[in-house]
Structure 1
Amino acid sequence: MDRVHVINLDRSLDRLAKFRSVNAHLNNVERFAGADGRGLDRCRLVEENIVSEDLEYTAGSLGCAVSHVRLWKEAVQRDQAITIAEDDAIFSRHFEDEMRSLVGSVKADWDFILWSASLRCYAWLDALPGGTGARLEFFSGDVMSNIQIFQEAHTEPHLLRARHLLGLVCYSVSPRGAQALLDWCLPIRPMIVDFAGFGLRLNNTGIDCLMNGVMPSLKAYVCLPPLVISNEQPEQSVRINT
């Protein structure tokens, strides 16, 4: 699981070069050729039960979803946990050591661990026994102007049980978690996802939203403070497959 699989499009090798430069401290990175939403055959995806005929994902959202699905299948086939990142991820210099320590601190039957924070998204947590939840909101502040400070900082991260999560900048998934995600998400289809207990319902416009239909049944965690953030400078960052 120490290997980080970085999703990167064939037409975006400059982004991979930047990823490797910013994260040169990572010891084990493997590029994963992302599915380019512009060239995917939707009819074939329907035949393969990857998507439904009436799915209206944008090309970018479709390519992103197919890329993650392929990596989940790889985790199941290998029967190994896998760590996945998007190519705009920025890693703490302490990521590898902290990841090993934190994974060792939870029960071996974990399903999903989100290492990252998307500064425009929330995380919904299990705050108290009996179903009491809490919503965590991030504010970007000046972090994007101080990337080196973020990367060098010695924090005291912990894994907190999560009920719902958005954003897939970097996460680890176990074979069992990957199978559960495949069983729920495929075929990827139009639906309203209910964030039960939080008074929220979202239209499925991306795979990270759809995953929340099954997330409460998984042993899912989120790392706080996060060990990975995304490059959210508008002039430099675009979502994969846009």
Structure 2
Amino acid sequence: MTEIHVINLDRSVERLEIFRQRNAHLKNVHRYPGIDGRTLNRDRLIEENIIAPDLDYTAGSLGCALSHVALWKEAADRNECMTVAEDDAIFSHHFESHMRSLLSNVRTDWDFILWSASLPCYAWLDALPGGTGARLQFFTGEVMTHIDEFQGAETEPALLRARHLLGLQCYSISPKGARALLDWCLPIRPMLIDFTGFGLRLNNTGIDCITNGLMPSLKAYTCLPPLAITDDRPEDSVRVNT
């Protein structure tokens, strides 16, 4: 579980170097070669029932989606929990110790834990019994100009039960969760996802959109305060919209 699989495109050498510099405190990082959406043969993916013929993902979104899917398959095949990050993630210096502590206290049948926050964005939580939800909103503020303060901050993070989550910059997934997401997401297809109880309907434009069609059925959690944030530069991102 302590190994972090970092998705990084082969052409994004500089991004990987920046990741390593910013996160030099992480002890066990494994680079996973991200799938470059520019090189994909969509006709073949349709034949293999990986995507639907009418899927309108950009090349970057499709490459990103298939990179995550490949790691879910690995987690399922190995029957091991896995921690995944994208190469723009910036980790707290206390990430590994907090992760171990939180995992030791969460229900053993968890499926998915989001450690990061995509700024600005939301998380939709299970707040009270009976389906009462709450929306948690993140504001960018000046955190990206105070990265050292974020990384060194002494916090007391907690895991909150989540109903919907956006952004997959850093998360852990169990084998059970990986199998459930693979069954739900493949073939990747156009759909509208209703955030029941929150008055929101989301069009599927990326892998973190389609996962929300299943997320309420998973034992999913989000970490607050987050233990990772993202430097959302578009250049050579695995999610770049080209």
Residue correspondence of structure 1 range 214-233 to structure 2 within 5 A: 214-232=214-232
User: Where does residue 237 of structure 2 map in the other structure?
Assistant: 239
CA distance in structure 1 between the partners assigned to 2:236 and 2:119 by the alignment: 14
Q: TM-score, normalised by structure 2?
A: 0.97
CA contact (8 A) 2:51 2:188 kept: yes
Superposed CA deviations along residues 67-99 of structure 1, whole A, max 9, x for unmatched, are 000000000000000000000000000000000
Which amino acid in the other structure matches residue 238 of structure 2?
I
CA distance in structure 2 between the partners assigned to 1:35 and 1:116 by the alignment: 22
Structure 1 unaligned spans of 5+ = none
Which amino acid in the other structure matches residue 150 of structure 1?
F
CA distance in structure 1 between the partners assigned to 2:101 and 2:235 by the alignment: 31
CA contact (8 A) 1:35 1:241 kept: no
Number of aligned residue pairs: give it: 240
User: Where does residue 6 of structure 1 map in the other structure?
Assistant: 6
CA contact (8 A) 1:37 1:241 kept: no
User: Where does residue 198 of structure 1 map in the other structure?
Assistant: 198
Which amino acid in the other structure matches residue 85 of structure 1?
A
Which amino acid in the other structure matches residue 230 of structure 1?
T
CA distance in structure 1 between the partners assigned to 2:239 and 2:116 by the alignment: 20
Q: Return structure 1 stretches of 4+ with deviation > 4 angstroms.
A: none
SS where residue 229 of structure 2 aligns?
Answer: strand
CA distance in structure 1 between the partners assigned to 2:44 and 2:99 by the alignment: 38
Q: Cα offset for 1:241?
A: 4.5
CA contact (8 A) 1:36 1:241 kept: no
User: Where does residue 90 of structure 1 map in the other structure?
Assistant: 90
Superposed CA deviations along residues 18-59 of structure 1, whole A, max 9, x for unmatched, are 100000000000000000000011111112221011101000
Superposed CA deviations along residues 157-199 of structure 1, whole A, max 9, x for unmatched, are 0000000000001000000000000000000000101111111
User: Where does residue 112 of structure 2 map in the other structure?
Assistant: 112
Structure 2 unaligned spans of 5+ = none
CA distance in structure 1 between the partners assigned to 2:76 and 2:84 by the alignment: 14
RMSD after superposition: 1.0
CA contact (8 A) 1:8 1:87 kept: yes
CA distance in structure 2 between the partners assigned to 1:31 and 1:41 by the alignment: 24
